[in-house]
Structure 1
Amino acid sequence: MMPRYPGAASRQGALAFPLVALVGVVLVSLNLRTAVTSLSPLLGVIDAEIGLGVAGMGLLGMVPTAMFAVWGVLTPLVLRRMGLEMLTVLAMAAAAVGQLVRAAAHDPWVMGAGSIIALAGMGIGNVVAPPLVKKYFPRHVAAVSMAYITGLQMGTVVPALVAVPVEEAAGWRVSIGWWAALAVVAAVPWVIEILRPDTSTSAPVAFAGNPDTPAGAAAAPVQRIRPWRSPVGVALALFFGTNSLCTYAFFTWLPAVAESIGMTRAEGGMALAVFSAIGLIAALAVPWIAGRFDDPYAVVVASVVSYLAAFAGLLWAPGFAPWLWICLLGVGPSTFPLCLTLINLRTRTQAGSAALSGFSQGVGYTAASLGPIVFGMLFNGPGLAAGLAFLTVVLVVMTAVSRTACRPNMLEDTLHGPLRAGAAHGRGVQDTQ
């Protein structure tokens, strides 16, 4: 087993520690959406007890993408002052505390505060997961990305499926609060990594050398990474943004879209579950494809074609095969695991991964917050055709920008400025915003 990161000490028994890290990465991934999908099916019940109101429910729906966007920008700054492992522990602690606060809420303000805390932790987790994979498994990025993206998808689908049964058996407070235990468990492997001797896990992400640097080699001088100065960084951020905009538009409005084409309310809820569940298949297949092929642009093409076929079916043959259109919509977000995998495949270094992860997800989730709003205004105004026309324009943009993101070029090699020449030779880099 190779050293986890440049300069890591070689030790007997090192084989066991990446296994702890693997468990830690998967457990973190399971926690990155629980506060979102465990709450949505219960909003009506919660509103009846604590009086959220229409505005309150709308604001709660905006908190996830807002926190993901804010912490996409802020997390790389925090990483300059503390290690990945410590920040991961703090993220899981925030996720646990926030979900417990929500479970104890007796008014909308406490519910909102708990949501902000929980989703801040999950927003940090979104950003630190890719560089954790880069640090501990630099030669197995695709395989470990497949594991953690699968965990993320399961953490999206399962809470939504069990929310109502648990609420009926034990009440809504238990249904949204018990996920805090999973966040506590996810922190344990990283506490182990922090406490074990002869490691540098407490060091901030302040350098990033060549992954093939021999153990014990001196760290190279550091320079700063600004992803927005690289065509790869800008392209991947726009790719993530356009993908997220489409995905979150359907996360919010798919049940209503399903009802508008003649499906029942129950079928609308099932349509959202199917839309989300298909992401599990993509999480298994897409990282493998991205790791096997230098240019995985075919995934983008297949996703866009699936979206457009679904749009055509919803508009022109809604009663012919509605479940076929829903399944094709579910294939569309296959670009999401591709975006997450490319964060590591298009960077040479741990710091490059951290910088690109923060930048692309900050841009991505900012765009995602616009998707439900714009699509909803068009869908409830001119109609479904106008909403789908808007998303078609977004898909055209995604098709264009993803071409650059998918080409086998590295962020560090394409930076504009003094870093460019040195990065191509694996010189040390400091990530900063």
Structure 2
Amino acid sequence: MTTSGARPLWQGRALAVLGILLCAFSLRSAVASLSPVIHEISADFPLSSAVLGLIGTLPPVCFAVFGLITPLLERRLGIERLTVIALCAMTAGLILRGLVGESVGLVLATAVIFAGVGMGNILMPPLVKKYFLDRIGLMMTLYTTAMACSTFVPPLVAVPVADAVGWRFSLAMWAVFAAAGVIPWLIMLMRGRDASTGSATQGGTGSAAQAEWVPEPVEGPDFAATGPIATSPSSRRLFARLARIPLVWALALTFGTSSIMAYVAFAWLPVIMVEVAHVSASTAGLLLSLFAFVGLPSSLLIPVLVVRFHATRPLFLVGAIGGMIGILGLLLAPLPGLLWLWTVLFGLVGLLFPLALVLISIRSRTPESAVLLSSFVQSVGYVLAAIFPVLVGVLHDATGGWTIPLLVVGAMLVASIPAGMIAGRRRTVEDEWERKHGAW
């Protein structure tokens, strides 16, 4: 589709904009709002190192598991209904997390949250593709910006809110955004049901397959503007094909590298700053916020740069090389005056996250294949992300220092560069399959 067919973002689809942005914000606020108030929680009931370690590994594990399950659920329920379920799970888990009175309850509530987040991670790129095929660049910019904001805002406000009104409110207040995100999707589902009921009442030949309302295309053959859009069922056969396509593995490694850097940083960067550079804990916390903040400008720019200017490879190199320089700086010159520079450079790995999300949307032809690709890529990526924070801790304990762990993290960035170059090919996964195996 050409850009001449593009319509204003809000025209006829304001509810979809709100639904996607509120869901995107909830995907990261749930992750970032807990660790700042761990000490306050520990004052009310004991949290062992094992429990904290389990909570730390829950996000990537849940993301990987539900990344595989989500396409099966989407096939039965439809993408909009499953989005409502995911947001309801996040809302319930966030509220419960603020009410628990012991560590087991905290773990279970956190698992419920990340089950919803795991589904939401998979559903967001296909939703953008379905509702905003003519505005993918702009909508992905808004979507990834909302996620970036929800990464660095909770750590900044969680402790002041906990000090003012308690840690329970500080944790539960983020449920407001997830609950608000349910409303637009429910309205669209009800409108779709009303439309299909009206068609049947007027003597249409509606069948069970036509129960969902499919709006008329606007300015193009594949663009449906508003309301729930019926998609073909997810196919296990197509999902299995993805594992045979090098482009898919390149995208998975790109996403996995982004996830590894994020979870390693949130788990260990403050400790590294304290032990290597001998800064205070408060300064280390500010540096962690700076690391997260670096991702905000990239979330604004990358979707447009990739969609309009096809700048995938240069952007990947900036992120990977910048991250490597930041790691080397921490190893070779951990001076207090230079830590801000090394943190910003290491934070450039944040470019890889919005880059991977945009590529999931544009490296597939249809919403169905986007769901499958999103599931495969994110599941593989989060498996890697679940391994590396633990691996870094084990290497630190084994060597008694941070040199080897940081070198391993840097080596992961080096190893990901070929994958970034492959991901930069301007082909879809369907193109790659058809080039070697025939019709998709």
TM interval, shorter chain, is: 0.7 to 0.9
Choose which of 54, 57, 60 in structure 2 pairs with 1:59: 54
1:235 equivalent in alignment to 2:250: yes
1:275 equivalent in alignment to 2:284: no
* 1-structure distance, mates of 2:12, 2:334: 53
Partner of residue 427, structure 1: none
**Per-residue deviation, residues 263-285 of structure 1 (Å, max 9, x unmatched):** 21111101110000111111011
Secondary structure at 1:414 match in 2: helix
Matches within 5 A, 1:249-264: 249-259=264-274, 260-264=276-280
- Pick closer, same or farther for the CA change 1:324–1:192 going to 2, 3 Å: same
Q: Which has the higher contact order (CA 8 A, sep 6+)?
A: 1
CA contact (8 A) 2:72 2:234 kept: no
* 2-structure distance, mates of 1:195, 1:109: 38
Partner of residue 422, structure 2: 404
Deviation for aligned residue 1:359: 0.5
Partner of residue 428, structure 1: none
Letter in 2 for 1:225: L
Backbone CA RMSD of aligned residues: 2.8
Please, what TM-score do these two structures have when normalized by structure 2? 0.86
Percent sequence identity is: 35
Partner of residue 208, structure 1: none
* 1-structure distance, mates of 2:165, 2:289: 23
Partner of residue 327, structure 1: 344
**Per-residue deviation, residues 181-237 of structure 1 (Å, max 9, x unmatched):** 2111011111111011337997599xxxxx73488xx99999742221222212111
Matches within 5 A, 1:14-413: 16-197=11-192, 198=195, 212-213=221-222, 224-226=237-239, 227-259=242-274, 260-319=276-335, 321-382=338-399, 383-413=401-431
CA contact (8 A) 1:306 1:329 kept: yes
* 1-structure distance, mates of 2:366, 2:348: 31
CA contact (8 A) 1:307 1:331 kept: yes
- Pick closer, same or farther for the CA change 1:68–1:141 going to 2, 3 Å: same
* 1-structure distance, mates of 2:431, 2:210: 27
- Pick closer, same or farther for the CA change 1:421–1:176 going to 2, 3 Å: same
**Per-residue deviation, residues 32-75 of structure 1 (Å, max 9, x unmatched):** 02221111011111122121222111111111111111111111
**Per-residue deviation, residues 129-152 of structure 1 (Å, max 9, x unmatched):** 000000001121111001000001
Number of aligned residues = 406
- Pick closer, same or farther for the CA change 1:356–1:231 going to 2, 3 Å: same
Letter in 1 for 2:374: S
Deviation for aligned residue 1:243: 2.3
- Structure (1/2) with the larger helix percentage: 2
* 2-structure distance, mates of 1:214, 1:76: 22
- Pick closer, same or farther for the CA change 1:381–1:15 going to 2, 3 Å: closer
- Pick closer, same or farther for the CA change 1:15–1:323 going to 2, 3 Å: closer
* 1-structure distance, mates of 2:323, 2:374: 26
**Per-residue deviation, residues 282-302 of structure 1 (Å, max 9, x unmatched):** 101111111122351001111
Secondary structure at 1:185 match in 2: helix
* 2-structure distance, mates of 1:115, 1:67: 10
* 1-structure distance, mates of 2:90, 2:282: 30
Deviation for aligned residue 1:310: 0.9
* 2-structure distance, mates of 1:219, 1:242: 31
- Structure 2 stretches lacking a partner, 5+ long: 3-8, 197-208, 215-219, 225-229
CA contact (8 A) 1:79 1:204 kept: no
- Pick closer, same or farther for the CA change 1:167–1:204 going to 2, 3 Å: farther
- Pick closer, same or farther for the CA change 1:379–1:90 going to 2, 3 Å: same
Partner of residue 5, structure 1: none
* 1-structure distance, mates of 2:210, 2:138: 23
- Pick closer, same or farther for the CA change 1:233–1:113 going to 2, 3 Å: same
Deviation for aligned residue 1:337: 0.6
Partner of residue 5, structure 2: none
